[in-house]
Amino acid sequence: MNYSHLRLRPGLSGTVLPFVLALALVAAGCSDNAPDAPRPEAANSEPSAATGAPQGTDVWLLDLVREDDALRAVEPRNLTNRPGYDNQPFFTPAGDLLFVQMEGARTDLWRWSPDTETSTRLTATPEQSEFSPTPIPGSAGGISYIRSPTDTSGRLWQMPQEGAAAEVVFPDIGPVGYHAWFDADNVALWLLQEPSALQLVGVDTKAARTLATGVGRSPQSVPNRRAVSFTRETDDGRAVELYDLDLERTEVVVLLPEAGDFHAWTPDGVLLASAGSRVVAWRDGAWQEVVDLAHLGLALTRLAVSPDGTHLALVGEPAG
């Protein structure tokens, strides 16, 4: 793959600022500052008549198109459209959309099908919460995710294939908040500690080593490379970095724009980021706007791109 559209800036090592750690692994104790946690009032809020968007967080789906060598996301649709917490979208290889939904004080995994345009519950664990559903590379419909009981000891779990029983992958490694796959044999685990840490762990060997500390809360697999990208604060701002497993080195890709936080990749290697009400793309040495949903009164966070590059899923919550 040609990565010439990304401007690497190796001089951005900087002094890492401490990452504020609070993970919504304990749904019963969600706080305002917890990553991906809904605001306490969200569950009791009503949809906004002005915007059509419920209070809380919702998963939206947009068509991703190319116009005159530019990316555009159009025709936003609210897939969840309910009060409360819906978050962490991730597409399967078949184009279904996985996400997390909170009911009461616990979260479960759901799957939205574009064929039927309906959502189906994948887990129902009243004493535990699931987060971060992610397809397992090379599996027959396998899904990995984080499961947490009533304390903060989240662990990586998996359903090895469609309909299989769930099992813990690394019982002795945690607490885990997020993860991303390098390939079927190696995974990056984001550990809830001070400072946060990103570890490379072998599935068979269980051997772990730390790749970076002070890392942001959304590691992402990089298409067509055995690499995982992540964000980290530097003296110059928040940077997107990636660790390449084959090269065994970390590269700095680019600084995120102002208000930039979460990121994702298109299948052909274009970096996307959310920034306030906008999604932007890093192309030709500059950030270019993909969509602005300010007219819907939304602030945007997590992003996911379909395997064929034709759809963008994102999480929106009321701005302000």
Mean per-residue pLDDT for 236-258?
Answer: 97
Cα–Cα dist 94/142, whole Å = 12
Q: Considering the entire predicted model, what is its pTM?
A: 0.83
DSSP string, 129-191: EEEEEEEPTTSSS-EEEEEE-SSS--EEEEE-STTPPPEES-TTS--EEEEEEEETTEEEEEE
Give me the pLDDT at residue 55, please.
Answer: 55
Strands 106-113 and 118-121 come out as antiparallel
C-alpha dihedral (154, 145, 298, 43), degrees to nearest 10: -60
> Percentage of residues in the chain with pLDDT exceeding 90?
76
Helix (H, G, I), strand (E, B) or coil at 293: coil
Contact 192, 21 (CB under 8 A): yes
Domains contained in the chain, CATH given? 27-318 (2.120.10.30)
pLDDT band of residue 151 (cuts 50, 70, 90) is low
pLDDT tens track for 14-35: 333 332 333 333 333 333 333 3
- Residue 278, classed as helix, strand or coil, is strand
What helix, strand, coil percent values describe the chain, rounded to 5?
5, 50, 45
Please say whether the beta carbons of 230 and 198 come within 8 A: yes
Phi/psi-derived region of residue 157, left when phi > 0, alpha when psi is between -120 and 50, beta in every other case:
beta
- pLDDT score recorded for residue 22: 34
> 174-207 pLDDT, tens per residue?
999 999 999 999 999 999 999 999 999 999 999 9
In this structure, are residues 279 and 273 in contact, taking their beta carbons and an 8 Å threshold? yes
Query: Which residue is listed with tokens 């945007």?
Result: 300
Q: Which residue has the higher pLDDT, 47 or 181?
A: 181
Residue matched to tokens 């819906």: 86
- For position 220, what pLDDT does the model report? 98
Q: What pLDDT shows up at residue 20?
A: 30
Q: Are 154 and 193 in contact (CB under 8 A)?
A: no
**Unique residue bearing structure tokens 């971060």:** 132
CB 62 within 8 A of CB 75: yes
pLDDT at 290 over 90: yes
Residues in the chain: 320
> Is the per-residue pLDDT at 138 higher than 60?
yes
